[in-house]
Amino acid sequence: MLSIDLSNRLAVITGATGQLGRVMAMVLSDCGANIAVHYNSNAAKAASLVEEIRAKGRRAAAFQADITDAESIGHMHEEIVKELGNPDIVVCNAVIQYEWTNVIDQNISDFYSQFESCIMHNVYMAKNFVPAMKEKKYGRYIAINTECSALAEANCSAYTAAKKGLDGFIRVLAKEVGEFGITVNEVAPGWTISYRDREAGSEKQEQYDKTVPLRRRGTDLEIAQMVAFLASDLASFTTGAYIPVSGGRVMPGI
């Protein structure tokens, strides 16, 4: 019987206090992983999440960083290594939120913020955390992309452009570090049901749901389960992959 076993692995998750991040943290810890909880501003939520993870018998600690700042991520890396050790698993989940509109009306600053939070965020994380993975010849690097990068729908130009750039970066990284036993993959969620939807009762979105072959939105748990799979040895021969978790709304061609 197959099972996802992350016992004695250490994962760092950026944006771990966010809607998807906190579920990823809980699922990976359920699989046995210790967790470095990254947050930007919500220290209280990070502390609460750390306590939940520790209650399962896992090691966990919270670390603050600005994902768009190289020095900040470098400092976070130092603190994580000092307190928990070198991570085996990196999950780059954080992204800057902004108001979507058409290209003509989109604020120029939004294009820069998306580039920084989608691409440079991953550049900084890779530069800091991948070298130790290369030394031990093992690692799992997972970036959270989006169905938007494949669909390129209206009113999400800044997000789509940045996530497409992320895809290129991840594919190159996968080729560069594969010989060291490191896999590098992307999980691409569709419009996902999270805590916020459950609280608001907005799980069903009829106009969107009818565009999904499975006729529903995915859940935060379903996204986290794919992350856990890619973080495990069950996915040891999968790298450079862009994996939609979108109910069939995105079907990459060959």
Report the phi/psi class of residue 248: left, alpha or beta, with left for phi > 0 and alpha for psi in -120 to 50. Answer: left
Computed from CA positions of residues 103, 107, 111, 117, in that sequence, does the dihedral angle turn out positive or negative? negative
Q: What one-character DSSP code corresponds to residue 219?
A: B
Alpha-carbon distance 19 to 26, whole Å?
Answer: 12
**What residues are paired with 63 via a beta bridge?**
38
Residues annotated as part of the active site: 159
Residue 107 is encoded by which pair of tokens? Answer: 């604020």
Q: How many residues does the chain have?
A: 254
Q: How far is CA 14 from CA 38, 204, 250, in A?
A: 5, 28, 25
What letter would DSSP give residue 249?
S
Short-list 74, 117, 69, CA closest to 93: 117
